[in-house]
Structure 1
Amino acid sequence: MSVSRRVALVAAIAAPVLIRAVPGTAAGPDAAAVEQAVDALTQALLAADGPALDALVLDGLSYGHSSGQVQDKTAFVETLTSKRSAFPSITLSDRSVSVVGDDAVARHVFTGEVVSGGKTAPVHIGVMQVWHRDHGRWRLLARQAFKI
């Protein structure tokens, strides 16, 4: 195989991977459905909506905060619904989604405010979420935030 044919072959193989890896993109109906689930979770966080949070996350949830704290589903939902922590504002940017079968990885930058213990603090963190297709709907399995 000539060099030019090898380059063309490599480019043809790599193009779909490179296109999918571009931040802020989601390709196909599965990725769009994951984006919708991310948005629904954001709205449930803002509203501290217990039933919506319960429906959007799996029982085996591992929810990691940028502080290093990790919560299970019960602690995650209870912290929000009890109003011990609240989010008056959330903006997601630099979004990307990658779907592999019944699993998906969503990444974004989370900017907003959190009210905890009566004090308001700004939030600007990176987030990686792992979503799993559960009986036809996307539900959060794991989330890890990290300091930028």
Structure 2
Amino acid sequence: MLKKLFLVAAAAALFSGCANVMPTGGGSASDAADVAAAAERLRIAMVDPTRPALSTLVADELSYGHSGGKVDTKESFIADLLDGKSDFVTITITEQTVKVVDARTAIVRHALAADTNDSGKPGKVALKILGVWQKQGGDWKLLARQAVRAS
């Protein structure tokens, strides 16, 4: 468990250093780094999903638009990951930008390349992602996400 926490912390530190973070409005560089770290924890949780990890990263009001047109809620998003309907074997994030709009809102954009095994069927996906993160209490949570197929 300690090793896994160390790996998550190291990945978040590395990843937040690579992200293009742009605090604006009421946001700070610290906020931008926190959002980038939350986005990295979500990437890890999508590859190795657990209900507690996903629940702490996703807002109750989640609206997640998939590239194929399906729209998920928090519950359907988590359920699909846990039961393997949506199974990410690997996820690589590139071209990430984090723009903190104000003290409670951030916009994250990135390219996502993944190996999948949805419902036992191997595949690959290349997407462009727009995420809206909201600070709830002391935590940044994914409020909305829209995926489109990368050309």
**The TM-score by the shorter chain falls in which range?**
0.7 to 0.9
> In 1, are the aligned partners of 2:132 and 2:142 still within 8 Å (CA)?
yes
Per the TM alignment, residue 117 of structure 1 is displaced from its structure 2 partner at its CA by 2.5
Q: 1:115 maps to what in 2? A: 117
SS class of match (2:67): coil
> In 1, are the aligned partners of 2:21 and 2:32 still within 8 Å (CA)?
yes
TM-score, normalised on structure 1? Answer: 0.82
Partner AA of 1:143 in structure 2: R
Q: 1:25 maps to what in 2? A: 20
Q: 2:49 maps to what in 1? A: 48
> In 1, are the aligned partners of 2:116 and 2:123 still within 8 Å (CA)?
yes
Q: How many residues align?
A: 126
Partner AA of 2:91 in structure 1: I
Unaligned runs of 5+ in 2: 1-18, 23-28
Unaligned runs of 5+ in 1: 1-23
SS class of match (1:85): coil
- Provide Cα deviations, 1:18-39, integer angstroms capped at 9, x if missing partner: xxxxxx5114111110000000
Q: Does residue 82 of structure 1 match 2:77?
A: no
Q: 1:125 maps to what in 2? A: 127
Partners of 1:47 and 1:118 lie apart in 2 by 16
Per the TM alignment, residue 48 of structure 1 is displaced from its structure 2 partner at its CA by 1.4
> In 1, are the aligned partners of 2:88 and 2:118 still within 8 Å (CA)?
no
Q: Does residue 106 of structure 1 match 2:105?
A: no
How many percent of aligned residue pairs carry the same amino acid? 38
- Provide Cα deviations, 1:27-84, integer angstroms capped at 9, x if missing partner: 4111110000000000100101111001111111001111111000110000011122
Q: 1:5 maps to what in 2? A: none
Bigger Rg, which one: 1
Partners of 1:110 and 1:98 lie apart in 2 by 18
Q: Does residue 134 of structure 1 match 2:136?
A: yes
Q: 2:3 maps to what in 1? A: none
Q: Does residue 36 of structure 1 match 2:37?
A: yes
Per the TM alignment, residue 137 of structure 1 is displaced from its structure 2 partner at its CA by 1.0
Q: 1:10 maps to what in 2? A: none
Per the TM alignment, residue 85 of structure 1 is displaced from its structure 2 partner at its CA by 2.0
Per the TM alignment, residue 103 of structure 1 is displaced from its structure 2 partner at its CA by 0.2
SS class of match (1:48): coil
Give me the CA root mean square deviation: 1.3
SS class of match (2:87): strand
